[in-house]
Chain A
Amino acid sequence: MNTQNKINSQLIKTAQIALFLVERVKGIEPSSSGWKPDIIAAILHPLSVVGVPGFEPGLNPPKGLVLPLHHTPYKHFRLKILTVCFRLVNEYGKIKNLMNLIKRIFSELNIVEQCKKYNLSLWQCPQFLFLVMGAIIVISSLFTYAFGTRYIEDPLIVAFIIQLLALILFVIAVIITRSFERLAEANRLKSEFVSIVSHQLRSPLSNLKWTIELLMSGKLGKIEEKQVEYFKIIKENSNRMHELVADLLTVSRIETAKLPFKKQLFSMEELVKKIINEYKPLANAYNVEVIFKNQKQLPNVFSDPSRIELVVENLLDNAIRYVTDKGKVEIELSKKNNHVRFSIKDNGVGIPQQDKKYIFQKFFRSENVLKKQTKGSGLGLYISKAIVERAKGKIGFDSEERKGSTFWFMVPIK
């Protein structure tokens, strides 16, 4: 083996070790870098090393990096190689991040997928049409400028081209507006459908509820104890359907902006006390202690008491139902600037980190909640948020899985 080959062989070996160490330091799996020994060899050839752009001979390898082959005749080269390796891997990491970012941007801009979501063809999809319009504006501006300045002397022709382009853009804008109308119409139809179905369901459900009540009253004849048990099951399920239909109707009214909201001055303290009293049987059934802390001399709030009542009920119902053993729920009212702040803390199942961003979404139910408690529509928090926002207030929460949650909302005094 001649001297040059020896150097090359040592270089490849050193480079591989260095690359391995550098990648380890950077937390990248050695095999995932894609740098094959032959490529490294090519790059790290003594002549190439000198020619690598951005290479700074004085740059030292990262701290803590153990050089396994010190005291060799090629120490000088190895230091250079390690430095280059480090830089390459570093650059590669940056490129990889950049590629991921570009991929993400493209996936966000994946117009075909987004249009599929709306069930619209590409030429009816606003996102796609906006992109087309943007492209036309950019290309036509550049083209008109280049063409107009080089080949056309008559300003009338330039004006004509501009008018023509403006017309094309106008037509696209009209199509975009139409497609937005279609989307809005689809949304309206969906809300109307929910509303009609809910209304239609209400009548048979009312009838069912009253018939069960009549049967259970014993006025039509004595019923056996065993039968009462089963009537109770029917009654409970009928009530659940009632609640679900009522929630769906509220959602439909929120979405069609038809939720009646009659503002008046009322005491949050009285409202909360009344609701806690109503929820005593449920709290007892779940072995939950409900504690109410109240700041003295709280001002009245100006809002719709029946809607705010629904928010408090939803939050209290959740707090009670999702507790673990020996539940404790603490409700607190306080004044904060021009608002009265309601907060409710429980020691329940909490919300998993990955579910937090979905918690106020329609029909969303956390997996840990589904395991514990199968009842519920996933509409309560969505409705609560919509009501609080309608009341020009704020709503939020803090939560830790298996430790509990604190939900809060604020209602304006004026």
Chain B
Amino acid sequence: METILFIEDESSLQKTVGETLTQEGYKVIPALDGEIGLKLAKEKKPDLILLDLILPKTHGFEVLKKIKEDADIKNIPVIVLTNVEGMEEIDKAIELGATTYLVKAQYSLKELIEKIKKVLE
């Protein structure tokens, strides 16, 4: 069973997306802030990380930077999943090593699952 670390501070979103991913056969590890997210990424070494940008304690970009600096976990694909839509943010995320950048408002749940599956292939 593939594992997905979901770093997102909104617990309701954790629940909805987490439940859907579980139904699709993935094991979901929730993290409600950047610091815990980074810690769990190192400990659990998931197959994929879903990362929000606006996070308590450590900002999403900082988490992404540290993941990509850590030799043990730098190869884990990271999908930035946020509602921040600026070109600067998109460019920065890709530059820091994110596999893809998804704006929550632009995707349905079904489309999101498809994107995740594609990255995990």
A199/B83 contact (C-beta < 8 A), A214-B19, A242-B105 known: yes
Residues in B whose Cβ lies below 8 Å from that of A209: 108-109
Residues in A whose Cβ lies below 8 Å from that of B16: 207, 210-211, 214
A202/B83 contact (C-beta < 8 A), A210-B16, A210-B17, A220-B19 known: yes
Separation of A220 and B18 alpha carbons in the complex (Å): 13
Separation of A220 and B112 alpha carbons in the complex (Å): 18
For residue B18, give the distance in angstroms from its CB to the closest CB of chain A. Answer: 11
Residues in A whose Cβ lies below 8 Å from that of B83: 199, 202-203, 206
Instruction: Please tell me the number of chain A residues within 8 Å of chain B, measured between CB atoms.
Output: 20
A197-236 interface (Cβ within 8 A of B):
199, 202-203, 205-207, 209-211, 213-214, 217, 219-220
Residue among B13, B16, B108, B112 having the largest count of chain A Cβ atoms under 10 Å: B16
A359-412 interface (Cβ within 8 A of B):
none
Q: Is the CB of A219 within 8 A of B105?
A: no
Residues in B whose Cβ lies below 8 Å from that of A246: 105
Q: Which residue of B lies closest to A261 (CB)?
A: B87
Contact of A199 among B17, B19, B84 (CB under 8 A): B84
For residue A141, give the distance in angstroms from its CB to the closest CB of chain B. Answer: 52
Write the B11-26 contact mask toward A (1 if CB under 8 angstroms, else 0). Answer: 0110011011001000
Residues in A whose Cβ lies below 8 Å from that of B112: 210
Q: Is the CB of A213 within 8 A of B12?
A: no
For residue B12, give the distance in angstroms from its CB to the closest CB of chain A. Answer: 5
Further contacts, 8 of them, CB under 8 A, given A210-B109, A260-B86: A205-B105, A206-B104, A206-B105, A207-B13, A210-B17, A210-B20, A214-B19, A220-B19
Q: List 26 A-B contacts (CB under 8 A).
A: A199-B84, A202-B83, A203-B13, A203-B83, A206-B13, A206-B83, A207-B10, A207-B13, A207-B16, A209-B109, A210-B17, A210-B20, A210-B108, A210-B109, A210-B112, A211-B16, A213-B108, A214-B16, A214-B19, A214-B20, A214-B109, A217-B109, A219-B19, A219-B23, A246-B105, A260-B86
Q: Which residues of A contact B (CB under 8 A)?
A: 199, 202-203, 205-207, 209-211, 213-214, 217, 219-220, 242, 245-246, 249, 258, 260
